[in-house]
């Protein structure tokens, strides 16, 4: 079992940065792929980024490539999402997720989810 708790969301102006954190419980978190997803009002949940269990492989949605960076510190059971050059269209609730197998962009393939953290980017 893995429990995930996100933090770090907030209100920022366009062009600024935020760093989201996802704290995980469980001593085997390093064996889980971790992902970040987001959901804007009236829209489906969409993939943002994912990282392998040992952090040697990452993948990003085209919409955030070059602006967002996912990383993890397994000693601290934490996954981060550094978000730079934020745009109003990045406004959404951001969720951390985990699964045992390789990364995928399909949210239905993830087994564990956090409660989400709101990110609002003003123009």
pLDDT digits (tens, 9 = 90+) for 44-77: 999 999 999 999 999 999 999 999 999 999 787 9
In this model, does residue 26 exceed pLDDT 90? no
CA-closest candidate to residue 54, choices 21, 22, 83, 79 = 79
Contacts of 95 (CB under 8 A, 6+ apart): 6, 36, 37, 38, 39, 45, 113, 114, 115, 116
How many residues does this entry show for the chain?
Answer: 123
Question: How far is residue 1 from each of residues 9, 42, 44, 69, measured CA to CA in Å?
Answer: 25, 31, 26, 26
CA-closest candidate to residue 123, choices 88, 93, 91, 90 = 88
Instruction: Give the pLDDT of residue 27.
Output: 74
């Amino acid at each position: 079992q893995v429990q995930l708790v996100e933090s770090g969301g907030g209100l920022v102006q366009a062009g600024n940065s935020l760093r989201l954190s996802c704290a995980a419980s469980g001593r085997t978190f390093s064996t889980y792929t971790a992902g970040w997803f987001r959901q804007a009002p009236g829209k489906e949940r969409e993939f943002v980024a994912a990282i392998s269990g040992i952090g040697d492989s990452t993948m990003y949605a085209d919409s955030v490539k070059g602006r967002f960076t996912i990383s993890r510190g397994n000693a601290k059971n934490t996954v981060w999402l550094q978000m730079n050059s934020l745009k109003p269209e990045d406004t959404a609730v951001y969720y951390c997720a985990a699964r045992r197998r390789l990364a995928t962009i399909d949210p239905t393939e993830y087994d564990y989810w956090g409660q989400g953290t709101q990110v609002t980017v003003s123009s």
